[in-house]
Amino acid sequence: MAEHFDPVQSANESARESARSLINSARFGTIATLDENGYPFASLITFALDRKQTPFLYVSRLSAHTKHLLADPRCSLLVGDPGKGDPLAHPRITIQCSATVLDPASDEIIILRTIFLARHPKAALYIDFPDFLYIRLTMIEASLNGGFGKAYRLKPHDLR
């Protein structure tokens, strides 16, 4: 197979629907960040979607990924439940994002707090901890993998 063959297709309506469904149904995902040496780091996070369907985190400053995002906003979020059987047969999406740490004093935080608690009731245990931050993940581009041979590239407008 030629080195320059690109197996990734442009998004169609079915890919867009699949991507939106994955993001809307997920409560958690894996975030890839860059550590202080520029080394990639994968960790589990929970997230919710704001009113514009943009994912956001509510995370402790003590978590490795929070420290990384405070130093470098580049990150990537993988969502999709590998479920039962062959994990590679299930759809998943990698969303490359830029992280923005939100001002704890902004009006918006009250809304995000309500959304996050509704999505993650267990977060009531730590929802007002002073060392936690809200971080918005603005999508740059995404790769949907719908199973073998079904790879699609999506742009922000595909997920609206």
**Residues shown for the chain:** 160
Q: Which is nearer to a second copy, 35 or 50 (CB)?
A: 35
DSSP secondary structure letter of residue 147: S
The least distance separating a second copy from the CB of residue 12, rounded to whole angstroms, comes to: 20
41 vs 71: CA distance, rounded Å = 14
Structure tokens at 41: 């780091």
Is 36 an interacting residue with respect to a second copy (CB under 8 A)?
A: no
Count of residues that interact with a second copy, criterion CB under 8 A: 43
Q: Which of 25, 61, 106, 147 binds a second copy (CB under 8 A)?
A: 61
Q: Which residue has the tokens 């995000």?
A: 112
To the nearest 10°, the Cα dihedral for 134, 122, 79, 88?
160
User: Which residues would be at the binding site for a second copy (CB under 8 A)?
Assistant: 1, 5, 7, 27-28, 30-34, 38-44, 46, 61-62, 64, 74-78, 80, 82, 85-89, 92, 94, 96, 120, 122, 126, 131, 143, 145, 148
